[in-house]
Amino acid sequence: MLKTRFLGLTHICKSASTRWQQRIVATRTYIRPHYYNNNEPLSKAIQAQKNPLQRFSRTVNNIDPNKVLWSVIGTNVGVYLMWQYAINSYKQFGDSHWLNIMGKHFISSPEAVHNGRYHTLLTSAFSHKSLEHLGLNMLVLYSIGQGVIEAIGASRFLILYAGAGITASLVAVGYRKYIRPMLEKEKYGRSRDPRLMGGSMGASGSVMAITSFFACAYPRATFLVFFIIPMPAIAVVGLFAAYDIYQASTLEGGIVDSAAHIGGVAYGAGYWFLRVRPMLRAGRWRV
């Protein structure tokens, strides 16, 4: 008799417990339906924590920002030293082996893309032959990069640098392949083969992206043009962008890759307006 009553009580408790669990599940499903999917053993939040990219991002963000910035600068310096070794080997010993390797893998061009060397779209963003070119880019990168890396975090800073470098290279390649031949034909009556136009190199595209991002985020910040003239950041970036557009459209750019600069400015502004600003307004931005 006691056993029967006990079993009956157990059955009642189990039924009540089942109804209560169903109510909890129904409530949870209403609040966070994607967290309680029966087909997924873990919530998406936990899965995101296990994502290798998310884990790498958290690891990078835990590193001292100055170390990340100096690592980027050090990479640029390292590639510059590789160029110097290759150039000196050719000058002193007539050995063009290393010079050919550097030209093949650290300069982006229509010819490189045509032959499947897509990595040059990124590696060219760390590539400098002259000390003046390297020094100017690294000075601006160090000056502006500190503020940007503190604002968006180290991992997003690296994404901004790399993404801008690739975008600037793509714009430069597209300009040489499609736009410049039309401008040359209109101006000179003939155009060169895009694969023979040479290529581009340098961190200018990435630096312009970081500068334009900073100007969009802090438009009233003061920049010293030529280290003398104080101007609002947004005005300085706008003037330089307008100048690059003029140079590219009139074929007056010379050795300066104005198309890459334009691509960098567009990427930096786009990253602010399309990525960061909407998340700030929604209250979802986390460094």
pLDDT for 116: 95
pLDDT for 284: 66
Judge whether 54 and 155 are in contact, CB under 8 Å: no
pLDDT for 8: 41
Quote the CATH superfamily of domain 60-282: Rhomboid-like (1.20.1540.10)
HSE (CB half, 13 Å, CA atoms) of 246?
6
pLDDT for 55: 76
Q: Which of 265, 250, 245 is nearest to 168 (CA)?
A: 265
Using CA atoms, how far apart are residues 277 and 273, in angstroms rounded to an integer? 5
C-alpha separations of 128 from 91, 168, 204 in Å? 18, 15, 10
Cβ partners under 8 Å of residue 215, min gap 6: 221, 223, 233, 234, 236, 237
**Structure-block tokens of residue 187:** 């101006």
pLDDT for 215: 95
pLDDT for 272: 94
Q: Report the 10 Å Cβ neighbour count for 218.
A: 15
Residue ranges in the chain modelled with pLDDT below 50: 1-37
Phi, psi (deg, nearest 5) at residue 215: -65, -35
Helix 131-152 to helix 204-217 angle, to the nearest 10 degrees?
Answer: 40
Using CA atoms, how far apart are residues 215 and 219, in angstroms rounded to an integer? 5
Using CA atoms, how far apart are residues 151 and 92, in angstroms rounded to an integer? 47
Judge whether 147 and 188 are in contact, CB under 8 Å: no
Give pLDDT tens digits for 43-65.
555 555 566 777 777 777 788 88
Cβ partners under 8 Å of residue 5, min gap 6: none
pLDDT for 31: 37
pLDDT for 251: 83
**Structure-block tokens of residue 186:** 């209109």
pLDDT for 43: 56
**Structure-block tokens of residue 217:** 């985020």
Which residue do the tokens 């417990």 mark? 17
pLDDT for 213: 96
pLDDT for 196: 63
Compute the Cα dihedral for 18, 20, 22, 25 and give only its sign: negative
Using CA atoms, how far apart are residues 66 and 70, in angstroms rounded to an integer? 6
Query: Residue ranges per domain, the chain?
Result: 60-282
Give pLDDT tens digits for 23-49.
444 433 333 344 444 555 555 555 555
